[in-house]
A and B are shown apart, each in its own frame.
Chain A
Amino acid sequence: MENIRKSSLLRGISYILIPIIVFILVLCVVNEVLVRQYGNIGNKEEYLKTDQFAEEYYISVISNVSDIKEIEYENSNGIEIYNATRNYYKKIENQNIYYEGSKETRVGYINKGINYIIKDKNTGKIYTNIQITELDKQIQELKNSSVYWYYENGEIKTNIDKISQNNVVYNYGITYNDYDIYSSFNIDNMIEYMLKDPTYAIYSKLNNISQFFNNKLSYIIPIATILLAVIIIYLIWSIGHEKGKDGITLRSIDKISYEIIIMITWFIIVLLICVIGGASSINSRIPVDFVQSAYIVSYLGIYVCLLIDVITTIRRIKAKEFWHSFLVYKIWNKLRQKIDEYGGKENSTKKITFFYLMFLAIFFILINCATSFLGLVLLVAFLVWIYIKLLKYNKKLNEVQMALRDIYEGKDDVYLDESEQKGVLKRMAKYINDIAGGFSNAIEQSLKSERLKTELITNVSHDIKTPLTSIINYVDLLKKEEFENKQVEQYIAILDNKSQRLKKLIEDLVEASKVQSGNVKLNIEDINLKELLNQTTGEFEDRFEKKNLKIELLVPTDDVIIKADNRYMYRIIENLFSNITKYALENSRIYIELKRESGKVKLSIKNISSEKLNISADELMQRFVRGDKSRHTEGSGLGISIAKSLTELQNGSFDIEIDGDLFKVILQW
């Protein structure tokens, strides 16, 4: 398909085919028209039988009588009457015979085939268009012709039925009772004359072609029309696409201002039209062949000019360069640049003033023209154009406003296409993009620093772990030694306790920082919370027992399924339970309730704290971020912070309520 589109060969053929098809089409149409005008002159026998021929023949013959009457009237009164006919009748002295000067005297091709002799019965004068040698014999000859019509002794004799004695109804106001009229018709003479007429010559040739095609020439018209349409559509689709190049290729001719191209081509076209006009009016004095070739050359010239116009127009439109290639546009653009240079760029007052003045000028010019229809159309078009421009400008302005709103609302992917904006808006778009870019940069930076923090904590923890290993091991070894001083054993117990706590602290620190920065991989699957609670209480059974804590587990009878990562879910519950074993009041009850509430799964864990809670719920959850307020003896104090982060990572919510000594954790999914 693309090959067909870009084939210059096909395009060349199309350019050549168009005039040929148009020519054929025109010939066919002309043929149709000429057939109506000339009828079937081509077929001589048929033509002689037509009513049209009969009538015209009759009119032509008797019209001579009215001419003769005028001449006689002129002669008898001695009045000089300007009459074209008079000049053509030459009197042959003493013979009372008048010849018609030329067969061209009378208009109409039928006359050219008529020979006549008219005799004035009163004066005995003879009027004729043939050379008289022996009058009686020649009259007899006329009477004996193959086509004849004569009026003798008040009676019409003819072999043309239509204008016989019985059938002649109209005499067109010409009385010919005082005359004897003899006439004959020779069709070959008529045709010989007609062939000097270019149009008839064409007709005659076409008629031959038509005869050759059995009069089927009219069928060519629709076929040729369709073919022409196909070629034109192909050209519109194909023009501008060149082999080996993407998109539209502009030629040097397309770079010339549009008006200039149009003016030049139309100048040539008008010139050629004049040539055609001249050639057709020159008539028969110039050889038919010459006139015909002049026609062909002129028409081809016009075709080439039109083709140039159409091709360059299509290419410009396709390349979206059409309006830009107008000289007027170029001038306008230059003017605008000049205004920008004159300080209109940053301060748009001058620009607006200029545009306003321009608008006024054009508006008043058009108001003046509005009396004519075209002027009115131009005025309306101008006002509509201004309105559309304003709407477009407003749309762009809205885009800028939306972008600003997005930034205001904190979206981080705001971007405006600067190339789609113009002037002030373009600069605004640039500023917005810069601001938005800085914004998302800042977010990226903070994410990066969060990652770095995690990395730092992880690395530092590795370095702490190695010496800690030695501490733990050697404290353990010390524990196995016997000391005389019992105090030493006490000290070692403290060392043991604190080194273990340090170990736990480091592990929690790494985990908390990872979880907080979202640096964990979740493996989300269906989890039965009920099962999880049973498993976890099983795990903690002996630890709860040690402090004599009673678990009150309230769960629905059916399974409670949520989407979560099973290991991290366990970590959450483990942390909470582990806190309970550390901080819950001995011999108290722990209430664990699992239920569905308004489409959500809600898990609440309540216990009584053994110590007074002198820290707010918020502070408890944010310890890792804010730093500890009151350190406990056991654990890292990061358990809740980790549990909260893990819950949120799994799209849940984590809340703590403190009511006196009642400590309540509420998880929801």
Chain B
Amino acid sequence: MYNILVVDDDKEIVNAIDIYLRKEGYKIYKAYNGEEAMEVLKNEEIHLIILDVMMPKKDGLETLEEIRKNKTIPVIMLSAKSEDYDKIEGLDLGADDYVTKPFSPLELIARVNSNIRRYTKFGALKENLNDKTYKTGDLFLDDETKKVIADGKEIKLTATEFKILKFLIKNKGKVFSIPQIYENVWNEEGYAAENIIAVHIRHIREKIEIDPKEPKYLKVIWGIGYKIEDIK
């Protein structure tokens, strides 16, 4: 049983989130501004916070700063601001994730689950690491057991998808064009590569990423190629 604190000045949104997350088996604490949130944090053991940015009294960013002074629990920012620099500002202040309004309930649930898994099971995963395991951030690929784990959840990949992902994660941080990926994975010239690779990559992304359009691990650099982000 994990405890989640939901902070938003819009009561209906808090209630909706409450309904969804309660179904997932979480215990929900509610707060309607930053000060209330700090009050709850003081008294309860909280495992994850969903924090709205624009709130009266104490806004989300200020609250986040204060939380980060002595707590490492996951924080998901919630905001109507969708500009890149808004997201960067939140993430820079120590947020773990950023969800823009209006969000789809499924996405929010997926992100909550992923963050909880990471926060609670990370230690256990670490023990299974061996020298044939490749890793970036919370994405693990074990070449021995052929297992892929993303944000604490095991992912089922086809053989080809696994090969592509293995090649990219082995060379994490580097960008590869479609023909390069083709040659390296199939060991032959990439004539007919065309969009086959692109399709595979989309599939991989849909499996390992929470939001395939804004991928965290498998990045698309349009007109140049693909890469696995090197996250410490």
- Asked if residues A532 and B202 are in contact (CB atoms below 8 Å), the reply is no
> Which A residues touch B10, using CB under 8 A?
466, 469-470
CA distance A528 to B54 in the complex (A): 41
Stretch at the interface among A194-202, A269-277, A370-378, A562-570: A562-570
| B223–A538 CB distance below 8 A | no
Q: Are the C-beta atoms of B222 and A468 separated by less than 8 Å? A: no
| B220, A535: Cβ atoms closer than 8 Å | yes
Question: Restricting to B158-208, which residues have a CB under 8 Å from any CB of A?
Answer: 177-178, 193-199, 201-202
Residues of A near B54 (CB, < 8 A) are: 462
Q: By the criterion CB–CB under 8 Å, are A534 and B198 in contact? A: yes
**Could you say which of A470, A474, A532 contacts B222, with CB atoms under 8 Å apart?**
A532
Q: Mark B204-232, 1 if CB is under 8 A from A, else 0.
A: 00000000000000001111110000000
Given A469-B13, A469-B102, A470-B16, A531 contacting B223 (CB threshold 8 A): yes
Task: Assess the A528–B80 pair: CB atoms within 8 A.
Answer: no
- Choose among B10, B16, B222 the residue with the greatest number of A CB atoms under 10 Å from its CB: B222
Q: Looking at the complex, which one of B100, B198, B225 makes contact with A538 (CB distance below 8 Å)?
A: B198
Chain B residue at minimal CB-CB distance from A525: B224
Within 8 A of B (CB), among A259-306: none
Interface string of A536-578 (1 = CB under 8 A from B): 1111010000000000010000000000101101100000000
> Given the complex, which residues of A lie within 8 Å of B225, measured CB to CB?
531
CB pair A567–B101 under 8 Å, yes or no, is no
Measured in the bound complex, the distance between the Cα atoms of B105 and A669 in whole Å is 42
- Are A468's CB and B223's CB within 8 A? no
Nearest CB in chain A to that of B225: its residue: A531
A106 CB–B CB distance under 8 Å: no
Chain A, 301-321, contact with B by CB distance < 8 Å: what is the 0/1 string?
Answer: 000000000000000000000
CB of B103 within 8 Å of the partner chain: yes
Contact for B19 among A477, A539, A541, A570, CB less than 8 A:
A477
| A465-B8 Cα distance, complex, nearest whole Å | 14
Q: Which residues of B are found within 8 Å of A157, using beta-carbon distances?
A: none
User: Which listed residue, A470, A471, A539, A569, touches B223 by the CB 8 Å rule?
Assistant: A569
Pair A535/B195 contact, Cβ less than 8 Å: yes
The answer, yes or no, to whether A59 is at the interface (CB within 8 Å) is: no
Contacts of B101 in A (CB 8 A): 465-466, 468-469
Instruction: Find the B residue at minimum CB distance from A476.
Output: B105
Q: Which of B21-71 contact A (CB under 8 A)?
A: 54
Given that A469-B13, A538-B201 are known contacts, is A566 also in contact with B194, CB under 8 Å in the complex? Answer: no
Determine if A474 and B12 form an interchain contact, defined as CB atoms under 8 angstroms apart: yes
* B19 (CB) vs chain A CBs: closest residue: A477
Write the nearest CB–CB distance from B66 to chain A, whole angstroms: 23
* Complex Cα gap A531–B194 (Å): 8
Chain A CB within 8 A of B104 CB: yes
Nearest-neighbour CB distance to chain A for B209, whole angstroms, equals 13
Determine if B82 is an interface residue (Cβ-Cβ < 8 Å).
yes
> B89-109 CB contact bits vs A (8 Å, 1 = yes)?
000000000001111110000
Are A534 and B105 in contact (CB-based, < 8 A)?
no
How close is A39's CB to chain B, nearest CB, in angstroms? 103
Q: Would A538 and B221 count as touching, CB distance under 8 A?
A: no
The minimal Cβ–Cβ distance linking B95 to chain A, given in whole angstroms, is: 18
How far is the CB of A662 from the nearest CB of chain B, in Å? Answer: 24
Shortest CB-to-CB span from B79 to chain A, Å, is 9
User: Nearest Cβ distance between residue B171 and chain A, in whole angstroms?
Assistant: 18
Taking the closest CB of chain A, its distance from the CB of B139, in whole angstroms, is 21
The total of interchain contacts (Cβ-Cβ below 8 angstroms) comes to 102
A495 interface hit (Cβ, 8 Å): no
- With A473-B13, A538-B198 already in contact, the answer to whether A566 and B222 are too (CB < 8 A) is yes
Contacts A537-B195, A538-B201 given; does A527 touch B82 at CB 8 Å:
no
Tell me the nearest residue of chain B to A502, going by C-beta. B102
CA distance A92 to B210 in the complex (A): 155
Q: Give Cα A503 to B225, complex, Å.
A: 30
In the complex, are the beta carbons of A569 and B222 less than 8 A apart? yes
- A477:B224 contact, CB within 8 angstroms: no
A160 in contact (CB, < 8 A):
no
In the complex, residue of chain B having the shortest beta-carbon distance to the beta carbon of A574: B222
Q: Quick check: is A239 within 8 A (CB to CB) of the other chain?
A: no
Q: How far is the CA of A569 from the CA of B220 in the complex (A)?
A: 12
Interface flag for B132 (CB, 8 Å): no
Query: Does B117 touch A at the CB level, under 8 Å?
Result: no
| Chain A hits for B156, CB < 8 A | none
- Judge whether A534 and B194 touch: CB under 8 Å: yes
Please encode chain A, from 450 to 482, with 1 for each CB lying within 8 Å of some chain B CB and 0 for all others. Answer: 000000000001110110111111101100000
Tell me if B12 and A535 are in contact (CB < 8 A): no
A535 touches B178 (CB 8 A): yes
C-alpha gap A510/B80 in the complex (Å) = 12
Asked whether any CB of chain A lies closer than 8 Å to the CB of B81, the reply is yes
Q: Flag whether A507 is at the interface (Cβ < 8 A).
A: yes
Residues from chain A with a CB closer than 8 A to the CB of B202 are 538-539, 541
Q: Which of A461, A472, A510 contacts B104 (CB 8 A)?
A: A472
| Set of chain B residues within 8 Å of A461, measured between Cβ atoms | 80
A183 to B194, CA, bound (A): 137
Contact between chains at B102 and A538 (CB < 8 Å): no
Q: How far is the CA of A528 from the CA of B221 in the complex (A)?
A: 11
A451 → B minimal CB distance (Å)? 15
Which chain A residue has the least Cβ–Cβ distance from B179?
Answer: A531
Complex: chain B residue closest to A566, CB-CB: B222
Asked if residues A527 and B222 are in contact (CB atoms below 8 Å), the reply is yes
Given contacts A466-B80, A531-B178, A534-B178, contact A477 B223 (CB under 8 A): no
What is the CA–CA distance of A503 and B177 in the complex, to the nearest angstrom? Answer: 34
A465-B80, A535-B178 are contacts. A472–B198 as well, Cβ < 8 Å?
no
Pick the residue among B80, B178, B195 that contacts A541 (CB under 8 A). B195
Partner pick for A527 among B81, B105, B224, CB 8 A cutoff: B224
A residues near B178, Cβ cutoff 8 Å: 531, 534-535
Complex Cα–Cα for A137 and B193 (A): 150
Q: Which residue of B lies closest to A529 (CB)?
A: B223
Q: How far is the CA of A44 from the CA of B75 in the complex (A)?
A: 123
CB pair B198–A539 under 8 Å, yes or no, is: yes
Would you call B197 and A538 a contact (CB within 8 A)?
A: yes
How far apart are the CA atoms of A465 and B197 in the complex, in Å? 37
Alpha-carbon gap, A477 to B224, bound state (A) = 42
Q: Which residues of A contact B19 (CB under 8 A)?
A: 477
Contact indicator A535/B223 (Cβ below 8 Å)? yes
Query: Do B223 and A472 touch (CB < 8 A)?
Result: no
A334 → chain B closest CB, angstroms: 67
Select one of A463, A503, A527, A536 contacting B102, CB under 8 A.
A503
Bound-state Cα–Cα, A525 to B225, Å: 13
Point out the residues of chain A lying under 8 angstroms from B103, CB to CB: 469
Name A534's contact: one of B17, B80, B195 (CB within 8 Å). Answer: B195
Contact B223 A527 (CB under 8 A): yes
Name the residue in B102, B195, B223 with the highest tally of chain A Cβ atoms < 10 Å from its Cβ.
Answer: B223
The residues of A that contact B16 with a CB separation of less than 8 Å are: 470, 473-474, 477
Contacts of A503 in B (CB 8 A): 102
CB distance from A532 to the nearest CB of B (A): 4
Q: Is the CB of B197 within 8 A of A528?
A: no
Q: Is the CB of A507 within 8 A of B177?
A: no
- CB-based contact A531/B224 at 8 Å: yes
In the complex, which residues of chain B have a beta carbon less than 8 angstroms from the beta carbon of A567?
222
The residue on A at minimum CB distance from B83 is: A458
Residues of A close to B102: CB separation below 8 A: 465, 468-469, 471-472, 503
Given known contacts A465-B101, A473-B16, A537-B195, A564 and B223 CB-to-CB distance under 8 angstroms: yes
**Do A535 and B80 contact each other (CB < 8 Å), given the known contacts A472-B102, A503-B102, A553-B194?**
no
A2 CB to nearest chain B CB (Å) = 52
Q: A462 and B224: CB pair below 8 A?
A: no
What are 5 inter-chain pairs, A to B, with CB distance below 8 A?
Answer: A473-B17, A531-B225, A534-B178, A539-B202, A541-B199
* Beyond A531-B178, A539-B198, A566-B223, 7 extra complex contacts between A and B, CB < 8 Å: A462-B81, A469-B101, A470-B13, A473-B105, A474-B16, A525-B224, A566-B221
Q: Identify the B interface with A (CB < 8 A).
A: 10, 12-13, 16-17, 19-20, 54, 80-82, 100-105, 177-178, 193-199, 201-202, 220-225
